[in-house]
Structure 1
Amino acid sequence: MSDKNKKSRSLVGIAGIVALATLISKLFGLFREQVIAAAFGVGPVVNAYAYAYVVPGFLLILLGGINGPFHSALVSVIAKRNKSEAAPIVETVTTLVSILLLFVTVILIFFAGTCIDLLAPGLEPIAKAIAVQQLQIMAPLALFAGLIGIGFGTLNAADQYWLPSISPLFSSLTVIIGVGVLAWQVGDKINTPQYIQLGGVILAAGTLAGGVLQWLSQIMAQIQSGLGKLRLRFDWRIPGVKDVMNVMAPATLSSGMLHINVYTDLFFASFIPNAAAAMRYGNFIVLTPLGIISNMILVPFMPVFSRLAAPENWTELKLRIRQGLLLTALTMLPFTAIFIALASPIIRLIYQRGAFKSADSDIVIPVLMAYGVGMFFYLGRDILVRVFYALGDGETPFKVSILNIFFNGLLDFLLYKPLGTPGLVFATVGVNVISMIIFLGILHKRLNGLPLKEWGISLLALTGISVIAGLGSWGVCGLWEQFLGSDNLLFQLLQLSVAVGVAFGLFLLLAIPLKLPEVDILLSRILQKFKKA
Structure 2
Amino acid sequence: MSRLMRASAIMAAGTMVSRVTGFVRTMVLASAVGTALLGDAYNVAYAIPYSILDLLLLGVLSSVIVPMIVQAQQRDADGGRAFEQRLLTLATLALIVVAALAVLAAPLLIDLYTNWRPGSPQYEAAVLLARLILPQLAFFGLGAVAGAILNTRDRFAAPMWAPVLNNIVVIGVFLAYSGGKDPATVSDGQLALLGLGTTAGIVAQATVLVIALKRARFQFRPRLDVRNARLGQMAKAGGWTIGYVVITQLGFMLITNLASAAGDAVPNHGVSPYTYAFQLFQLPYGIIGVSVITAMLPKMSRAVTDGRMDDLRSEFGSGVRLISCVMVPASLLLMVLGPAITVPIYAHGETTVADAVYIGNVLQVYGLALMPFAVFQLLLRVFYSFGDTRTPVFIGAGTTAAGAVLMLVANALLPPAYVVMGLAFAYACAYGLGAVVAWMMASRRAAGLGGWTIGTALTRMYLAAMPTAVLALASVWVSQQVFGELAFLNSLIILAVGGGLGGLLYLAIAHKMRIPEVNSIVGMVAGRVGR
Report the alpha carbon displacement of residue 243 of structure 1 after superposing the two structures with TM: 5.3
Paired with 1:109 and 1:290, the residues of 2 have a C-alpha distance of: 31
Where does residue 498 of structure 1 map in the other structure? 497
Paired with 1:486 and 1:402, the residues of 2 have a C-alpha distance of: 43
Cα RMSD, aligned residues only: 2.9
For normalisation by structure 1, the TM-score amounts to 0.88
Paired with 1:446 and 1:232, the residues of 2 have a C-alpha distance of: 37
Matched, 1:137 2:132: yes
Where does residue 432 of structure 1 map in the other structure? 431
Q: How does 1:119-198 map to 2 (within 5 A)?
A: 119-122=113-116, 125-183=120-178, 191=182, 193-195=184-186, 198=189
Paired with 1:451 and 1:512, the residues of 2 have a C-alpha distance of: 23
Report the alpha carbon displacement of residue 287 of structure 1 after superposing the two structures with TM: 2.3
Q: Secondary structure at the match of 2:228?
A: coil
Paired with 2:242 and 2:144, the residues of 1 have a C-alpha distance of: 11
Q: Deviations over 1:378-416 (max 9, x none)?
A: 111111111111111111112222233322221110123
Where does residue 250 of structure 2 map in the other structure? 260
Where does residue 307 of structure 1 map in the other structure? 302
Paired with 1:267 and 1:471, the residues of 2 have a C-alpha distance of: 37
Amino acid at match of 1:231: P
Q: How does 1:288-327 map to 2 (within 5 A)?
A: 288-309=283-304, 312-327=307-322
Q: Deviations over 1:59-99 (max 9, x none)?
A: 4556676xx43155343233351693333112222333334
Name which of 46, 57, 60 aligns with 1:53.
46
Report the alpha carbon displacement of residue 120 of structure 1 after superposing the two structures with TM: 0.8
CA 1:430–1:492 in 2, change beyond 3 Å: closer, same or farther?
closer
Amino acid at match of 2:397: I
Report the alpha carbon displacement of residue 217 of structure 1 after superposing the two structures with TM: 2.1
Where does residue 478 of structure 1 map in the other structure? 477
Where does residue 107 of structure 1 map in the other structure? 101
Paired with 1:454 and 1:30, the residues of 2 have a C-alpha distance of: 36
Report the alpha carbon displacement of residue 491 of structure 1 after superposing the two structures with TM: 6.0
Q: Secondary structure at the match of 1:308?
A: helix
Q: Secondary structure at the match of 1:160?
A: coil
CA 1:160–1:59 in 2, change beyond 3 Å: closer, same or farther?
farther
CA 1:528–1:384 in 2, change beyond 3 Å: closer, same or farther?
farther
Where does residue 420 of structure 2 map in the other structure? 421
Report the alpha carbon displacement of residue 190 of structure 1 after superposing the two structures with TM: 6.3
Report the alpha carbon displacement of residue 47 of structure 1 after superposing the two structures with TM: 0.4
Paired with 1:255 and 1:473, the residues of 2 have a C-alpha distance of: 37
Matched, 1:36 2:29: yes
Q: Deviations over 1:144-189 (max 9, x none)?
A: 3322221110111122222111112233223222222223xx6xx5
Amino acid at match of 1:95: T
Amino acid at match of 2:424: V
Paired with 1:196 and 1:468, the residues of 2 have a C-alpha distance of: 52
Name which of 323, 346, 371 aligns with 2:341.
346
Greater CA deviation, 387-396 or 198-207?
198-207
Amino acid at match of 2:18: S
Greater CA deviation, 241-250 or 440-449?
241-250
Report the alpha carbon displacement of residue 464 of structure 1 after superposing the two structures with TM: 4.9
Q: Secondary structure at the match of 2:448?
A: coil
Q: Please tell me whether the aligned partners of residues 64 and 147 of structure 1 are also in contact (alpha carbons under 8 angstroms).
A: no
Amino acid at match of 2:198: T
Where does residue 3 of structure 1 map in the other structure? none
Name which of 388, 396, 404 aligns with 1:393.
388
Greater CA deviation, 207-216 or 514-523?
514-523
Matched, 1:212 2:203: yes
Listed as ranges, the gaps of 5+ residues in structure 2 are: 264-268
Q: Please tell me whether the aligned partners of residues 64 and 145 of structure 1 are also in contact (alpha carbons under 8 angstroms).
A: no
Q: Secondary structure at the match of 1:168?
A: helix
Where does residue 88 of structure 1 map in the other structure? 82
Paired with 2:505 and 2:474, the residues of 1 have a C-alpha distance of: 13
Q: Secondary structure at the match of 1:167?
A: helix
Q: Please tell me whether the aligned partners of residues 79 and 158 of structure 1 are also in contact (alpha carbons under 8 angstroms).
A: no
Report the alpha carbon displacement of residue 367 of structure 1 after superposing the two structures with TM: 0.7
Report the alpha carbon displacement of residue 276 of structure 1 after superposing the two structures with TM: 0.4
For normalisation by structure 2, the TM-score amounts to 0.88
Q: Please tell me whether the aligned partners of residues 162 and 205 of structure 2 are also in contact (alpha carbons under 8 angstroms).
A: yes
Matched, 1:19 2:19: no
Report the alpha carbon displacement of residue 136 of structure 1 after superposing the two structures with TM: 1.3
Paired with 2:485 and 2:258, the residues of 1 have a C-alpha distance of: 36
Q: Secondary structure at the match of 2:154?
A: coil
Q: Please tell me whether the aligned partners of residues 472 and 494 of structure 2 are also in contact (alpha carbons under 8 angstroms).
A: no
Where does residue 266 of structure 2 map in the other structure? none
CA 1:30–1:41 in 2, change beyond 3 Å: closer, same or farther?
same
Matched, 1:359 2:354: yes
Listed as ranges, the gaps of 5+ residues in structure 1 are: 1-8
Identity of aligned residues (%): 21
CA 1:272–1:223 in 2, change beyond 3 Å: closer, same or farther?
same
Paired with 1:428 and 1:398, the residues of 2 have a C-alpha distance of: 17
Q: Deviations over 1:334-358 (max 9, x none)?
A: 1111111111211111111111112
Greater CA deviation, 92-101 or 276-285?
92-101
Q: Please tell me whether the aligned partners of residues 181 and 350 of structure 2 are also in contact (alpha carbons under 8 angstroms).
A: no
Paired with 1:362 and 1:503, the residues of 2 have a C-alpha distance of: 21
Report the alpha carbon displacement of residue 48 of structure 1 after superposing the two structures with TM: 0.6
Paired residues, what number? 517
Paired with 1:358 and 1:378, the residues of 2 have a C-alpha distance of: 29
Matched, 1:409 2:407: no
Report the alpha carbon displacement of residue 470 of structure 1 after superposing the two structures with TM: 1.4
Report the alpha carbon displacement of residue 431 of structure 1 after superposing the two structures with TM: 2.2
Q: Please tell me whether the aligned partners of residues 49 and 137 of structure 2 are also in contact (alpha carbons under 8 angstroms).
A: yes
Paired with 2:221 and 2:239, the residues of 1 have a C-alpha distance of: 23
Amino acid at match of 1:388: F
Paired with 1:197 and 1:506, the residues of 2 have a C-alpha distance of: 51
